[in-house]
Structure 1
Amino acid sequence: MAKANYEPYGMNFIKGPTGRFTNGRTTADFIAEYLGLPYAPPYMGSQGLEQLTGLNFASASCGILPETGYNLGKCLNLAEQVDYFERVVQQELPKHFQSPDELSNYLSKSVFIISIGSNDYINNYLHVPQYNTSTRYTPDSFAQLLVGNLSQQFQRLYQLGARKLVMFELGPIGCIPSNTRLYNPTGRCIEQLNRLTLTFNTQLAQMLRNLESTLQGSNFVLAQSYQLAYDAMINPSKYGFSDTTNPCCATWFNVPSGCVPAPGVQACPHPEDHFFWDGVHLTETVYETVASSCFNGSSFCVPKNIQELVLQ
């Protein structure tokens, strides 16, 4: 059910609707542009590795935990995404290199961009009665569960040759329209939900520091998404937005997340003025702000930005 291969998704993207849950490019797309690379094609739709310029393993509605998002249909959880990457490293990439050392060098220079975890809250912890996770875990223990699983997959990536990894914090899920409409008719941010992601982010930062200190030659960069997103929603004019509460495109009334694919239903004429594209995801303008801040900013991505990471 979690698909974005129809209009108005992609209305501002050169390739049209492609499965990107926004009106145009994503953060990963912008970073690819800044590095002079083409947009990473989806692994499951690619016909072999004709160009060694990246692959996209992302899967809509899935998360860190294997059960997250299953109520919306089959998707690839993080472990499965790493499984496919392992297949690429072991079966596809060796065909393009003269020796294992050349392959290792290639992987060590590659940049891995990961943004995951929001669905584990939106499509799992907060999804009652389909899930009973919130009755089995406190906010702190659930964050520990997520971060522990995430750490295992990062260590797998390291063993497969990854050395430069950028991980994005979770944003304030208490401010997204799909949650404010369900839990707070006033449309204001629900701070109780925001505290869930703050708990996760705190543990995430510590985990990344621990991994970098124990995995020789590794570089883990934390993109501090929460504060930027929260500040933009509270102070929209500071970032050039006029609306940080309502989605740009019409969404379903009973499940206010995805854009409504119906004749005559149009998205707002100026998505660049909006923070939210649909009931959950952001507009291209937000993704561009995030990408540029992480690529050459001095405080958004720590302990180094992506330009510095590439030169490391």
Structure 2
Amino acid sequence: MSLPIVACALLLTALASSQFVDGFYTSIFAFGDSLTDTGNYISLTTKGVLQYDGIPSCSVPPYGETFFHHPTGRCSDGRLIIDFIAEHYGLPLVPPYSGGGNANPGGGVNFAVVGAPALTDDVLQANWSYSRDDISMMSQINMFKSLLPSICKTSGCDETLKKSLIVFGPFGGNDYASAILSKRVEDAHRLQPLVINAVASAIEELIKLGVVNLMVPGMLPDGCMGVSLTVYYRSNEEDYDPITGCLTWLNEFAQKHNGLLRKELTRIQEHYPNVFITYADYYNAGLELLLSPKKYGFKNETRFIACCGSGGPYNVDENAKCGYPSSHSCDVPSSYIQWDGGHLTQAAYRWIAKGLLSGLYTSPNITASCSNPTSAMSI
């Protein structure tokens, strides 16, 4: 058999047990950090589970202004990638686990929390203002386990999970952030294999619970984010990529993480051939917007500038974050790629989701020509 035919045959073997063949899911379960959180952090802070000095992240206007017209805990002006994925498959937006009665286990639940690390506090040796163990990756998986009896109440878990999509991540950004933002980059490099191993172990644990379909995102091009460019403002000129204008070393760090992650996903896929694992390339999907902003309806001159913030060349100020009284937001968020310097706008997330769901930025390509995907809702 020729290589293309072999590749196609292998893909069909994986697809045979995947809902991608049928073209729909009955539920989505999500795990991750602020790129995926749809309200857990704001709920946990309000209930006093998490202690926060100042304004809880993403909890005040103008967050949510574009779509929901009020803050929902999403770190954007509107919907996130997970929201567009749900809409694509004709499902309701995935509710936060900590939302209590609003969560419908049968239709999916979101366990992601702003600030969630892949590792525990003792491994990170982090000096945070509060313990993040209760929102960590493993804590989220434990929440999922505790919910399984409710999820499988009307039918067996195998049948339910076979029809569910698991969006797992991204994870790692919060593990690295403390070291990188404190300019201890060597410490961040030390954490990479620990983070990747932890993510791989978590995925295998989910598979043993009966999970069949997983989408695992990598890191965004963090060297292009306003908060990174602000922290390292006026660094040496050679630190910047002459084509993108982003911090070369930081993007290389993200690419290394993504490369290690993909290697582990390949290993897991080979070990579990009846499971469908697709890598979601947030990095190149996001970079494409920054390289060709006008093509996607964004202003070229604002591609690194936060729509919401206060001061500095990138409108990012740690002492006057988006939502603080001294901050301000742009008039047309849809013309900006970046929302608050650390997160993107709804318009940017929409384009990234389109790229993922078209198969352009997923591997394996979820619309591979040798499969027979049915049409889904446009976004």
* Structure 2 SS opposite 1:260: coil
Structure 1: 5+ residue stretches without partners: none
2:266 matches 1:203: no
Q: Which deviations, in whole Å up to 9, do the C-alpha atoms of 1:106-138 show, x marking residues without a partner?
A: 11220011222222222x331438xx7x4556x
**Would the alpha carbon gap of residues 136 and 3 (structure 1) be closer, same or farther in structure 2, given more than 3 Å must change?**
closer
The aligned residue for residue 250 of structure 2 is 193
Matching residue within 293, 301, 304 for 2:362: 301
The aligned residue for residue 62 of structure 2 is 8
The aligned residue for residue 178 of structure 1 is 227
2:112 matches 1:58: yes
2:142 matches 1:83: yes
Aligned mates of 1:256, 1:309 — CA distance in 2: 52
* Structure 1 SS opposite 2:278: strand
CA contact (8 A) 2:60 2:323 kept: no
* Structure 1 SS opposite 2:329: coil
2:98 matches 1:41: no
Aligned mates of 2:321, 2:373 — CA distance in 1: 35
Structure 2 counterpart of 1:96, one-letter code: T
Matching residue within 216, 223, 232 for 2:289: 232
CA contact (8 A) 1:176 1:279 kept: yes
**Would the alpha carbon gap of residues 195 and 181 (structure 1) be closer, same or farther in structure 2, given more than 3 Å must change?**
same
Matching residue within 322, 330, 344 for 1:259: 322
Aligned mates of 1:15, 1:32 — CA distance in 2: 20
* Structure 1 SS opposite 2:110: coil
Aligned mates of 1:150, 1:310 — CA distance in 2: 29
Structure 2: 5+ residue stretches without partners: 1-51, 375-379
Aligned mates of 2:152, 2:275 — CA distance in 1: 22
The aligned residue for residue 7 of structure 2 is none
Aligned mates of 2:367, 2:67 — CA distance in 1: 24
Q: Which deviations, in whole Å up to 9, do the C-alpha atoms of 1:82-129 show, x marking residues without a partner?
A: 11001111x3223333xxxx321111220011222222222x331438
Aligned mates of 1:276, 1:85 — CA distance in 2: 31
Structure 1 counterpart of 2:140, one-letter code: Q
State the 1:228 CA deviation.
Answer: 2.3
Matches within 5 A, 1:99-178: 102-114=156-168, 115-122=170-177, 124-128=178-182, 134-136=185-187, 139=189, 141-178=190-227
CA contact (8 A) 2:284 2:361 kept: no
Structure 1 counterpart of 2:83, one-letter code: D
**Would the alpha carbon gap of residues 51 and 156 (structure 1) be closer, same or farther in structure 2, given more than 3 Å must change?**
closer
What percentage of residue pairs aligned between the two structures are identical?
A: 24
Q: Which structure has more RCO (C-alpha within 8 Å, separation ≥ 6)?
A: 2
CA contact (8 A) 1:111 1:310 kept: no
**Would the alpha carbon gap of residues 127 and 284 (structure 1) be closer, same or farther in structure 2, given more than 3 Å must change?**
same
Q: Which runs of 4+ in 1 moved over 3 A?
A: 48-51, 72-75, 134-137, 185-188, 251-254, 306-311
Aligned mates of 2:266, 2:225 — CA distance in 1: 29
Aligned mates of 1:70, 1:42 — CA distance in 2: 27
Matching residue within 323, 326, 339 for 1:277: 339
TM-score (normalizing by structure 2):
0.72
The aligned residue for residue 35 of structure 2 is none
Matching residue within 277, 285, 307 for 1:248: 307
CA contact (8 A) 2:86 2:93 kept: yes
* Structure 2 SS opposite 1:40: coil
Matching residue within 349, 352, 360 for 1:290: 352
TM-score (normalizing by structure 1):
0.86
